[in-house]
Structure 1
Amino acid sequence: MFTIEHEFDATVVTLVDEGSTPLQEDVVINSFEECITVEQYDARTDSMQKITLSIAQMRDLVAAVNLPEGLYRREE
């Protein structure tokens, strides 16, 4: 399951793990004009963990999901 919310400066997608146990914490993806952030709560450290991707990195990730193993370069 996932939700999509449009806020003032970002689009927020939340991914909820509904599978069988062990379930993972929700993943929150914030899409800003200049970057994408991915956040997930880490119970071991009792804190949110965050990574930041450039828009180009996110485009590469989306393209990579359906490609076979290999080295690729996206053409603009």
Structure 2
Amino acid sequence: MFTIEHDFDATVITLVDEGEEGVSHLKEDVTINAFEDCVTIEQLEPTTDRVQVVTLSMAQLQDLAAALDLPEGVYRLARTEDVQR
């Protein structure tokens, strides 16, 4: 399950672990904040009771999206602003 909320300066997506049949432990919710210039991913670390935050630039986010559909290897995406016409 997930929720989507539009705040003043970000879109906030929360991913809720509903579990799988036969699996008794659930992972903490993941909150994704999409800002104009970056994306943050937050999750509570229950052993320390602290929220862990990872910040991705928009280029890193594009690389991640591309990587989900590629086989093993090393890649560099050609960005439109990098391509000479």
Query: When the two structures are superposed, what TM-score results if normalisation uses the length of structure 2?
Result: 0.85
1:58 CA drift (Å): 0.5
One of 43, 47, 51 as aligned partner of 2:50: 47
| Identity across matched positions, percent | 62
Q: Partner residue of 2:77?
A: 74
For structure 1, list consecutive stretches of 5 or more residues without a partner in the other structure: none
Query: When the two structures are superposed, what TM-score results if normalisation uses the length of structure 1?
Result: 0.94
Q: CA RMSD in A?
A: 0.8
Matched, 1:15 2:15: yes
Matched, 1:64 2:67: yes
Question: 2:76 and 2:3 mapped to 1: Cα distance?
Answer: 31
Question: Moved runs in structure 1, 4+ residues, more than 2 A?
Answer: none
Alignment: residue pair count:
76
For structure 2, list consecutive stretches of 5 or more residues without a partner in the other structure: 80-85
Q: Partner residue of 1:33?
A: 36
1:22 CA drift (Å): 1.7
- After superposition, what is the alpha-carbon deviation per residue over 1:15-68, rounded to whole angstroms, capped at 9, x for unaligned? 111123321000000000111100000111111110111010011001111111
Q: Read off the aligned partner of 1:3 and give its amino acid letter.
A: T
